[in-house]
Amino acid sequence: MCQPLDRTSRSGRSQRVDWPRFVQRISDAGRIVLTTHVRPDCDAVGSQLAMQAILEALGKEATIVNAFDLPRNLAFLDADGRLNRLERDVPAAAIEQYDLLLILDTTAWAQLGAMAEVVRTTRVAKAVLDHHVSGDDLGAELFKDTSAEATGRLVVEAADHLGIPLSPRIARPAFAAVATDTGWFRFASTDAETFALAARLVRAGACPDEFYRVLYENDTIARLNLIGRVMARAVTEEGGRLIHTYILRDDFLQTGAEPGDSEDIINMTLTVGGTEVAVILIERKEGNFKVSFRSRSHVDCSRLAERFGGGGHKAAAGAFVPGPLSAAQAEVLDAVRQAMQ
């Protein structure tokens, strides 16, 4: 039987964001720039696009500027080409002409990529809208609710408090944000009000079947080959409670896969019966490794990630660690084993 989640109701939870202050922040700004984390997911990109639509409905000038090109698997979200790349499309100096820099879905310096220097040095007022537990002091006004299942929910709540009705342009990316950050409504963060939110977004124009097909039934043979290679080297420990694997840059080159093709592979390892904690290390072109943690036990992934300068949620978190692989694996797995005791 499904057990009720041990947390406050959504109505009580929403008070954790000072919405009157957020509304004032938005009202005071005529030109707003939006950014999010590198290695983006649907929650990051979907929240940006939905927030941009909300701001434009208010008559604001809203520009999205990121330190990445959108991965192939998320290109469907930005069919109109609204995402800009820092320096290539929008110079860093141009951001100084805005009234507010709104950072979505992260409070970690390491996740901002090249935008970190902009955030660090800008004289523009800064604010964060996020749902992650851990993070850094970005020198921004914080609007955070760590019990929200996705930043996409907070964007919808922002629309409600700003008096903007949900349109297809808001609902579609917001639904993608919420659906994917809840593992398509299967994670423990999902409750009855998550489904109520999803219903609102579908009524406003979101298309679940279309999104699921594009996200999960649209693989390339290169991604399938990458998955096979990574799964073949998966190792279990601690009586099967811990599973871990890794991806090297050569794996991308030899299979023809793209970095974005590694998305969700760690969740596949959790399908092994008896698994409580999963870890994957992904080599980056910079020579270090992106580490992702997943847990369905007492192990707190956010605390594990914090040990390596990262962050996230109790059930899912990430960080970056220096190479080589042998050293990175040893350090990370030692920390995980200790946490599992």
pLDDT at 15 over 90: no
Find the mean pLDDT for residues 218-228.
95
pLDDT above 70: residue 92: yes
What integer pLDDT is reported at residue 135 of this predicted model? 82
pLDDT tier at 11 (50, 70, 90 boundaries)? Answer: very low
For the chain, give the percent of residues with pLDDT over 90.
84
Residue 3: predicted pLDDT: 47
Give the up-direction half-sphere exposure of residue 77: CA atoms within 13 A in the CB hemisphere: 30
pLDDT over 60 at 4, yes or no: no
pLDDT of 140 > 90? The answer is yes
Could you give all domains of the chain from N- to C-terminal order, each with its CATH number? Answer: 10-214 (3.90.1640.10), 221-340 (3.10.310.30)
More confident residue, 289 or 311: 289
Starting at the earlier edge strand, list the strands of the sheet with 61-66.
Answer: 83-85, 61-66, 31-35, 100-104, 125-130, 141-144
Mean pLDDT over 217-224 rounds to 93
Decide: residue 212, CB within 10 A, 0-12 exposed, 13-18 middle, 19+ buried. Answer: middle
